Amino acid sequence: MAAPTPNNPQPAPAGKSSPRYELLTLGDELLLGITPNAHLTWIGGQLSRRGVRLDRNVTITDEADAIARQFPESWARADVILTSGGLGPTCDDRTREVIAEALGLPLVFDEGIMGEIEARFARLNRPCTPNNRKQAFKFARGEVLPNPHGTAPGLWLEHEGKVLIMLPGPPNELQPMFLEHVLPRLARLGLLSDSETFVQLRTAGVGESMLETRFQPIFDRHPGLGIAFCAHQWQVDCRINSPDGRYPRQALQQIAEECATLLGDDFVGFGHDSLPKVTGDLLRTQGRTLAVAEACTGGLLAHSFTDLCGASKFFMGGIVSYSNDSKMLLLDCPECLLSQHGAVSAECAVAMATGVAERLSADYGLAITGYMGPTSQGDSGSGTLFVGLHSPLGDWSKKLSYPGPGQTVKQRAVTAAIDWLRREAVRETRRATSPLAN
Amino acid sequence: MAAPTPNNPQPAPAGKSSPRYELLTLGDELLLGITPNAHLTWIGGQLSRRGVRLDRNVTITDEADAIARQFPESWARADVILTSGGLGPTCDDRTREVIAEALGLPLVFDEGIMGEIEARFARLNRPCTPNNRKQAFKFARGEVLPNPHGTAPGLWLEHEGKVLIMLPGPPNELQPMFLEHVLPRLARLGLLSDSETFVQLRTAGVGESMLETRFQPIFDRHPGLGIAFCAHQWQVDCRINSPDGRYPRQALQQIAEECATLLGDDFVGFGHDSLPKVTGDLLRTQGRTLAVAEACTGGLLAHSFTDLCGASKFFMGGIVSYSNDSKMLLLDCPECLLSQHGAVSAECAVAMATGVAERLSADYGLAITGYMGPTSQGDSGSGTLFVGLHSPLGDWSKKLSYPGPGQTVKQRAVTAAIDWLRREAVRETRRATSPLAN
């Protein structure tokens, strides 16, 4: 029922029966609604790239008796259990001890870990208090996963034909540890693929079922392919893999390229780059620059680009103009245009786009102006917006009408605007390489 | 170990033994990392306001056999089970049927629900396909929770001394249903409090332990209070309640006001209003206006304000200036200032703040310029930033040095900048009401 669902899950690596993965996320802050459960989203995404679907995620408090109640059930169910949180130095960080007791396995003090922790404190010029000692315990027959970004190392244990992986809570410690130490170990054990199991095509502007219909003739010529569609943020990804291993990666890539060619400008890119990233990279390659002007999206459009690494190479700046006055003052929108057509109009969108491009000497100007839908959660309503685009090939505007609450409409308008810019940049590239096209 | 953890959970309503709440979130998109588990965060937050802590959240796929495996275990453990998702019309929406089978309870077709669904389709001028019929089934002895924002109604069942609540997946359907129909029913059954159980003070600029130290003398004079501190986004909330009911709400409010007075300008507000909201409301009350200029935060500062309902009443606009050129062109930063002090300097921050306020005729100008920490997840590094503030009382700048990855540094700088503006607005209010103060 929720909008973005994949058609079917990615199958496990060829020739293996699918191992059951479970993630145990610990922390009151998750259950009290203070912190989103970002580890689920991140770890789930990483595993799915390697051909594994997380079987279950259980979130409980990090209190000792809650862990003691939950862990045995999880251990009985799963082949691989990942835990996050509760490895720190304070007395309420009891995960390590409670799980060791549940497994009936002793923890042993490890001089090597203690040395690392002391060295870290010395580097930071801070005293190492005695409670840090507990972070130097590991399973007697287990391994230690180094943590260059914090004191608590991760723990790895193979026991009873299962794998237990205990990770620290902070994302900037958990994520590099998972990529550098957990994924390679799991791949060596054959519990997930040692590289991405699929080739991913990102598309924009085509719905899931239309995409399937367009690709079907290609898939029909290659029996036995695994296909999954996944819609998110009004884009659809298509993942192509080979469940029984009959297509090597190179063949999958070739099929994906056939699909991309068929799609034309609806094809965004291979892999995991976001729409703003792909668009920004296109502009950088062309040596083109961009400036943006926005009303109702209030900074979201600018932030989509400034959030990219190296944005200053193509992004000249942005203007959030909330009033007619600021549209005149900062964007040179003529007063008569605003009074004749209003601020939510095709004319105003174009004037904003050309105005900001001129002010900031940018090649492209992208603008959004509009009415949002209602902002409260319950109301459905709809938003009416205009996108303006100034490009080396001309100036255009486009009307958008989206249903849904304000937050949704905003994000959707930003996606649509950026996709339009991308298409224009693609068209310009094509024109540069083949003067007769378009 | 993760930074924001409350000191202790909020106790249950006085005189009741704590009912165990479990949330069962269904959907491949959650496990594959496509969609964040926002229902956990939202429902967990709502329950905690009513004195209840979610005991456990389990996320599984919405496939029938996964639900059939999980549900009996959850039902055995919990007193109140909430499910989200899988109530829709398509053949893979099997939650209703699978759970009915697990409980051994029949579902019955309800003419009333069907009428609502048909009326909705008629209103939207769309045909009602036969598969929508399955959404009109409910438990024979259960109730229906109306869904004005979608087709699938929620279901309510009291059985074996427990409560089962089945909610639709889309947030804009789930949230109003939960507030309007679920919370009041649970309160009537005494399973949670019928209003907020605590008085919440929001603070800024004081750490958790310092806050506790400052409040302790007040708490010592009122034995038996329940106190919870909760840090999030570099702010700390303090929740004060009365676990044994000896303090009525009015007394709690009085104690909280004592705490607020003691805190002075570190007190942000009572309740749940965000820092930008409190700050915006202050400006609106004063009839003052705001404009912002930002470099490295790239639109995030503007968006913190434009995201508020009614922002156009005080927010004049924002400028995202990424280059020296744009700082000169749009913000009138003098070239000599930029070449002498650089774009990341106290001088530039002040010039940006005064420049944007002047350009947009705003009373307050708020600016951020700086170097971010590294953007990749693993690197720790640190960011150096300057905040500039132009106000009716004068112009100032402030240097910030924050550790952590770029994303974290950005959000923290935005919070610090807005908090500074809030303090300045408070100071101006005080000055207006008592000309001798400050």
Q: Quick check: B170 and A1 CB within 8 A? A: yes
User: Distance between CA atoms of B58 and B83, rounded to whole angstroms?
Assistant: 10
* Mean of pLDDT values over A221-235: 90
Q: How confident is the model at residue B436 (pLDDT cuts 50, 70, 90)?
A: low
In chain A, residues with a C-beta closer than 8 Å to the C-beta of B377 are 171-172, 175-176
CB proximity list for A132: less than 8 A, separation 6 or greater: A89, A117, A121, A151
Note the pLDDT of residue B91. 72
What CATH number is given for A21-188 in this structure? 3.40.980.10
pLDDT digits (tens, 9 = 90+) for B108-135: 999 999 998 888 888 888 888 888 888 8
**Cα distance from B436 to chain A (closest Cα, Å)?**
36
Phi, psi of A326 (to 5 degrees): -70, -30
Say if the Cβ atoms of B302 and A301 lie within 8 Å.
no
Q: Do domains A21-188 and A275-433 have the same CATH topology?
A: no
For residues A20 and A263, what is the distance between their CA atoms, to the nearest angstrom? Answer: 36
Residues pairing with A59 in the sheet: A25, B57
Please state, for a pLDDT cut of 90, what percent of chain B lies above it.
70
Confidence of residue A322 (pLDDT cuts 50, 70, 90): confident
**Residues of chain A contacting residue B34, judged by C-beta atoms under 8 Å apart:** 4, 6, 45, 230, 232
* CATH pick for A275-433 out of 3.90.550.10, 3.90.950.20, 3.40.50.720, 3.40.50.300: 3.90.950.20
- Residue in B closest to A326 by C-alpha: B360
What pLDDT sits at residue A3? 34
Q: What is the pTM of this model?
A: 0.88
Which residue in A has a C-alpha nearest to residue B322's C-alpha? Answer: A317
Interface predicted TM-score (ipTM)? 0.87
Q: Tens digits of per-residue pLDDT, B92-107? A: 788 999 999 999 999 9
How does residue B429 score in pLDDT terms, banded at 50, 70 and 90? confident
pLDDT band at B373 (very low <50, low <70, confident <90, very high): low
Contact B37 A37 (CB under 8 A): yes
pLDDT tens for B135-146 read 889 999 999 999
For B376, phi and psi rounded to 5 degrees? Answer: -75, 155
Least confident of A290-304, A375-389, A404-418: A375-389
Instruction: Tell me the CA distances in angstroms from B240 to A62, B52, B192, one per residue in order.
Output: 22, 14, 17
From A5, A171, A323, residue closest to B316, measured CB to CB: A323
Cβ of A323 within 8 Å of Cβ of B329? The answer is no
| CA B307 to chain CA centroid, nearest Å | 13
Average pLDDT over residues B216-243: 91
Q: What is the pLDDT of residues A243-273, one digit of tens each?
A: 999 999 999 999 999 999 999 999 999 999 9
Q: What's residue A133's pLDDT?
A: 86
- Domain locations in chain B? 21-188, 198-270, 275-433
Over residues A123-139, mean pLDDT:
86
Contact check, Cβ <8 Å, B93/A172? no
Residue with tokens 């009015």: B250
Quick one: tokens of A365?
């100007």
Residue A376 clears pLDDT 80, i.e. is over it: no
Residue of A nearest to B374 (CA): A309
Q: Do B148 and A378 touch (CB under 8 A)?
A: yes
**Tokens representing residue B31 in the block:** 């496990």
Return d(Cα B200, Cα A21) in angstroms, integer: 39
Please give the residue of chain A at the shortest CA–CA distance from B27. Answer: A5
User: Cβ separation of B404 and A36 shorter than 8 Å?
Assistant: no
CATH of domain A198-270: 3.30.70.2860
User: E-strand spans in A233-375?
Assistant: 235-241, 267-270, 290-294, 315-321, 364-371
Is pLDDT of B4 > 90? no
Task: Please list, in sequence order, all residues whose beta carbon lies within 8 angstroms of the beta carbon of residue A235, skipping any fewer than 6 positions away.
Answer: A202, A203, A204, A268, A275, A415
